[in-house]
Structure 1
């Protein structure tokens, strides 16, 4: 098997691709915790029991509303360990904001995916069924790199993996954290 041709990408590339879809994006999340600079202060507020106005999510939610209004689809599958990590409990605490804006999100307990081979690279997006972006993380959940490919076979493997995870998922509205 030959190596997939990947090229470096950036957070800005991710945002451009998310905003620029013509039909859809899918996003597979496989980690129990992330450590993004944007999220950590808000998660700390949640841990302290403080309220959050979620203004920091405004641009993402507005983008989702625009995609929904234009008939484009945005789907995210979260593979989670149960019981949920603090990070996943925190995101579940405000998942309805994403759903109301137009992102369809499903949760899948890791144990339900025994027969699904998840990519070693972990998280990915597929944009308009033609571009795959892999998100790489350090052990503490901080993002270390983005890589992108238009290799048709790799994109199809990502779509197949996402479809298998999605089929096992429970919608965010029906999911009850363990």
Structure 2
């Protein structure tokens, strides 16, 4: 399923969307210019995020909760530092984002789907993300198997309680940037 089709699922969910992010780099081609500008210390034009932030505003204004847990390696990679600096845009659009450094993961936690990222919609549908080695998004696979979904609901709940709210997460190797 292409990303655009997966994003249309936000129009039909009623209560909750949760995203588990496990990668330390999401260098996708459409972010190359803004990411390079950020690395160079230049002003960054984040207008490419507008379709996503508008989708999130519409979703959360309907009363749907949208949450993310980002499991990250410290010290943060350049990409995750950039992602950290852009999180305010996600939160302004209504998302609630928490961070979980890998070294704080509870012992014995295993991630399903070979450690791929996933979205959980209304506790009954999963969209498992697939990426090419160069970071390109290949799409998602939908799963609605009740046992698999239940396993992911439990993992979501565990990670959410352990993760640090964005406003409280202060990694050491962060720098502020401007945006347009």
TM (norm. structure 1) is 0.88
Q: Corresponding residue for 2:116?
A: 122
The more displaced of 93-102 and 140-149 is: 140-149
Contact 2:20-2:117 within 8 A present in 1 as well: yes
Tell me which of 146, 152, 159 is aligned to 1:165: 159
Contact 1:117-1:161 within 8 A present in 2 as well: no
Q: Corresponding residue for 1:5?
A: none
Structure 2 CA distance for partners of 1:117 and 1:56, relative to 1, 3 Å: same
Structure 1 distance, partners of 2:22, 2:163, is: 13
* 1:156 and 2:150 are equivalent in the alignment: yes
Structure 2 CA distance for partners of 1:19 and 1:36, relative to 1, 3 Å: farther
Contact 1:126-1:133 within 8 A present in 2 as well: yes
SS in structure 2 at match of 1:146 = strand
Contact 1:136-1:144 within 8 A present in 2 as well: yes
Structure 2 distance, partners of 1:10, 1:101, is: 23
Q: Corresponding residue for 1:4?
A: none
* 1:37 and 2:29 are equivalent in the alignment: yes
Q: Corresponding residue for 1:66?
A: 58
Could you report, residue by residue, the CA deviation over 1:29-68 in whole angstroms, capped at 9, with x for unpaired residues? 0010012222222111111112123111112112222222
Q: Corresponding residue for 1:79?
A: 71
Structure 2 distance, partners of 1:67, 1:18, is: 6
Spell out the pairing of 1:65-144 with structure 2 (5 A cutoff). Answer: 65-115=57-107, 116-119=109-112, 120-144=114-138
SS in structure 2 at match of 1:94 = helix
Contact 2:124-2:146 within 8 A present in 1 as well: yes
SS in structure 1 at match of 2:17 = strand
Structure 2 distance, partners of 1:141, 1:164, is: 28
The more displaced of 161-170 and 72-81 is: 161-170
Name the one with the larger helix percent: 2
CA RMSD, Structure 1 to Structure 2 (Å)? 1.5
Structure 2 distance, partners of 1:105, 1:19, is: 20
